Structure 1
Amino acid sequence: MDISQLTGAERRVWEAYALGGSVDFRVRPREPATSGAEWGPERTVRAEVLRALLVGGPRVEGEVPFLRLHGARISGVLDLQYAEVAVPLHMWACHFDEELDLYGARLRQINLGWSVLPGMNGTSLRVDGSLRMTGCRVRGPVRLGGARISGAVFLEGAHLGEEGVALDEPVLALNRTTIDDDLQADGGLVVHGMVRLAGAVIAGNITFDDAVLSNPGGTSLHASGLNAGSGLHAMRLRAEGRVNLPGARVAGPLNFEDARLSNPGGTALRASGLVTGVLDLHVAERIDGAVTLRGCQLDLLHLATEMWPDKVRLDGLTYTRLSPHEPAERWLRVLERDVDGYVPYAYEQLTAAYRRLGDDGAARTVQLAKQRRHRATLSWYARTWGYLQDWTVGYGFRPTRAAVWLLSLLLVGAVTFAVHEPSALKPEEAPEFNPVFYTLDLLLPIVDFGQEGSYAAQGAYQWFGYALVVLGWTLATTIAAGVSRAISRQ
């Protein structure tokens, strides 16, 4: 490039570049770039000049070239498609008139902190260091699909997209992106539109603390197949629109503590097939929208029962522990909201969680509720038998109730046969009649006191005796089953 054609502002940048110097056009410290469209020629640099510097700019022996530019207006398209730039780019608080094009480029490091851009195309970009967009204002999409960043990506405090302006693509596209360090998108990040992390591989932490992801009626965060080497932290996140995490793998915790998840009339959180150690949904307020956790594999699920929405999908959800430890009746109300109806696996998981806590009573309550839900799926005659089992012995999960029934029948039988003593079959050989032990002979199938074989009731009392035999078999078997369950659990 003919340097004689450079403006005064451009000459300053050209001369400073070779020496690794810095050019600051700002008229005051921390001057924002939001009014950059009004900046005049005294602080305007053509994009073609910057490209010429970065691709083949001057060198000074013994000096390390470096593009350090503050508060400049960049006119035209800075086109670095497929370029290999060996020097770091530091363009702080600059205003870009046109989209920054880094498609397929290879850069050493890039810092665009607090700059204003209409958009950025970094598809298939390679960065040997970090990519910093702290505090940036980007009206259009930021495309980083398939990019490879060897350092960290910084998006703290950035504002991406415009409120009320819908795009036909993600506002922040990080699909299939590989980041060898952290993705820091906290500190007041605001995104109007979708953030896409599908298939991304991020070795460090992903942080969305205090971020606002707003895409009402759509998807605010799409991270299907995400692979996070550490954790995903979204404390105090405000997500308006669906948070989509199917098939994600998060080696550390997935933390939504004090977050607000809202997608009225739709799904607020979809995490089918998620694998992580801890899913912390200790949210600030009740989730507004359905929650789908089908097929998730968790060590700890943390979500208070009053924060669950009216619609859930939990089939195949596997967890070791539940938090907080609440009465079984509260968790059962959550299972009853499953839109898939009766899901046996959900009850088994809840039972196992209570048993690990040593709360055997709660585990039995869950199993009893499971039988009652299952009963509704049976034919009418099976339901009738189920009601009888429930009323008498609680399907075997209330053995004390069975013992009370057995004692009650013993009392009724003893009084009845004391008043109406049955006839002796062989009076000369029969032992003395005892109404209590005669009733026990009828009720207990494996006990023989010699009364039932020596005496026989007549008429209606004979039928009463048959009823005691049938009820005794049922109740005694139920008590034995309850005792065996207790022994096996211990």
Structure 2
Amino acid sequence: MQIDDMTPAEERVWRAFPRGADVDFRTPSDEGPARGADWGPERSIRAGVLRALLLSAPQEDGETAALRVAGARITGVLDLKYAEVDHAVRLSDCRFEEVPVLYGARLRQLNLRDSVLPGLDAATLRVDGVLRMSDCRFEGPVRLGGAQIAGALFLDRADIGEPPAGQPALQLNQVTVGDGVSAPGLRTRGEVRLTGASTAGTIDLGGARLDAGAGEPALDAVTLTVEGDVLLRDADVRGWIGLRGARIAGRLDLSRARLANPGGTALRASSCTVGELWLRQSPPMSDALNLRRAQLDVLFLETESVPDEVLLDSLVYTSLTPHEPAEQRLVMLERDREGYVPHAYEQLTAAYRRIGDDDAARLVQLAKQRRRRGTLPWYGRLWGHVQDATVGYGFRPLRAAGWLVSLLLIGSLAYAVHHPEPLKPAEAPQFNPVFYTLDLLLPVISFGQEGAFAPTGGYQWLSYALVLTGWILATTVVTGITRTVSRQ
């Protein structure tokens, strides 16, 4: 392209490029690129001129060429498909009339900060440095699927409009980012797709507003790999978040986040591996939390943040914080959508034992047996009630002593008032009401009293009741001890 074919604005950019000089078309009264459609030819640049500049402009010895333009209106399609650009590109505070096409391109560095674009088509883009799109406003979808970014991806406070039906608003599937994704304050009106993406740094979505609508994916990050943290602090998400199979080495932080997917699951984190999951100072998500088969080192979950429905089958965690009474933690297990899940009780028990709170661990195990009782047939439930009332399924052994003392007192008083007749008066030992009652209550130990005396009438029925109660008490105690020993 000859310089004679250019407008004054284009010629100004062309001459500045070999030296990497800034070209700023902004004015003190500038209202920004949102009103860029009204900008005239004095600050308009054809996309074809920029393409020719980047691909074939002459270089100057001793200078580092770069495209640095601010406040321009770019007309036509900036088509750099499959192009290799060895220069840094900064087109900040600009307004693009057409969607830039960067499919398969290779750039050293790209900065579109504060610009307004109808969208971005940059799938499989390769950037050797940083891709910066902070404070950009996209009126259509941003496609970066399969992109490779050696540095960081910046989307701070970016605003992405509603995409066509069936398309994600922000497409980052299979993207590879070297230094992390910075997107605090990001706003989208559709799906953010991060399936299969990977980053060696952190994904920061603090304060983001992701609105996909109820029943739709707001953040689909299946099989995401993050070597740092995923931060969604203070985020407002409408739709579901999918993290199935994701691997997050650091922290998944949902502190103060508001997650809403009425009628469905708000957070789907099944089969994922996470260093720490934080749900703190957050209102209960609407509706369900799915952590089935997830593996966590630390689960930071405040009881106030537990939703009305959870799925916890095969969830494994090493530490549960903050430390709260077992009565409060059991509420979460009772809300499991699948009903009685034995594994969830075992995990909570193990968490309490690791910190030395054996009383809380026993309370969880007792709650487990009571919950299991509801799944048994009538005779199993009946026997369960007996075990619960007598020795608390073996977790409250002092109850057995209380029953024993009470029954011993009743029998001793009754038989002290009315001595049973001896079967063989000449051979019978001296009657002792206390040891006679113990003979009836204890099925194994014998003091020689039971076989020597025979009560009659109502006292005979009392002896039957004491013998039957003694057997039940002994059986439940043995059952509880066996269960305790097998757990140890």
TM bracket, shorter-chain basis: over 0.9
Q: Deviations over 1:439-480 (max 9, x none)?
A: 112222343322224333345534432332332233234445
Q: Which residue number corresponds to residue 437 of structure 2?
A: 439
Q: Which residue number corresponds to residue 105 of structure 2?
A: 105
Q: Is the 8 A contact 1:409 1:468 kept in 2?
A: yes
Q: Deviations over 1:250-304 (max 9, x none)?
A: 0001111111111222221111112112110114322221111111111221222
The one-letter code sitting in structure 2 at the alignment partner of 1:399 is P
Q: Which residue number corresponds to residue 365 of structure 2?
A: 367
Report percent identity of matched pairs: 56
Q: Is the 8 A contact 1:166 1:193 kept in 2?
A: no
Determine if the alignment matches structure 1 residue 325 to structure 2 residue 323. yes
**Displacement of 1:115 after TM fit?**
0.7
Q: Which residue number corresponds to residue 454 of structure 2?
A: 456
Q: Which residue number corresponds to residue 67 of structure 2?
A: 67
**Unaligned regions of 5+ residues in structure 1, if any?**
none
**Displacement of 1:484 after TM fit?**
7.1
**Aligned ranges 1:71-220 → 2 under 5 Å:** 71-162=71-162, 167-186=165-184, 188-217=185-214, 218-220=216-218
Q: Is the 8 A contact 1:286 1:306 kept in 2?
A: yes
Pairing partner for 1:428 from 421, 426, 429: 426
Distance 2:281 2:265 in 1: 16
**Displacement of 1:361 after TM fit?**
2.2
Q: Which residue number corresponds to residue 35 of structure 2?
A: 35
Q: Is the 8 A contact 1:24 1:69 kept in 2?
A: yes
**Displacement of 1:489 after TM fit?**
7.9
Q: Deviations over 1:306-330 (max 9, x none)?
A: 2222111111111122222222222
Q: Is the 8 A contact 1:167 1:193 kept in 2?
A: no
**Displacement of 1:97 after TM fit?**
0.4
Distance 2:485 2:346 in 1: 19
Distance 2:195 2:221 in 1: 4
Distance 1:338 1:486 in 2: 26
Q: Deviations over 1:166-201 (max 9, x none)?
A: 642111111111111111011x22111111111101
**Displacement of 1:147 after TM fit?**
0.7
TM-score where L is the length of structure 1: 0.94
> For 1:251, what is the secondary structure of its paired residue?
strand
**Displacement of 1:426 after TM fit?**
3.5
Q: Is the 8 A contact 2:103 2:125 kept in 1?
A: yes
CA RMSD of aligned residues (A): 2.0
Distance 2:406 2:452 in 1: 24
Q: Is the 8 A contact 1:313 1:338 kept in 2?
A: yes
Q: Is the 8 A contact 2:390 2:476 kept in 1?
A: no
**Displacement of 1:45 after TM fit?**
0.6
Q: Which residue number corresponds to residue 276 of structure 1?
A: 274
Q: What count of residue pairs does the alignment treat as equivalent? A: 487
Pairing partner for 2:227 from 200, 205, 229: 229
Distance 2:355 2:442 in 1: 36
TM-score where L is the length of structure 2: 0.95
Which deviates the most, 252-261 or 28-37? 28-37
> For 1:216, what is the secondary structure of its paired residue?
coil
Which deviates the most, 253-262 or 472-481? 472-481
> For 2:239, what is the secondary structure of its paired residue?
strand
Q: Is the 8 A contact 2:394 2:481 kept in 1?
A: no
**Displacement of 1:412 after TM fit?**
1.3
Q: Is the 8 A contact 1:392 1:405 kept in 2?
A: yes
Distance 1:64 1:360 in 2: 69
Q: Is the 8 A contact 1:145 1:173 kept in 2?
A: yes
The one-letter code sitting in structure 1 at the alignment partner of 2:84 is E
In structure 2, relative to structure 1, the CA distance for the partners of 1:316 and 1:145 (3 Å cut) is same
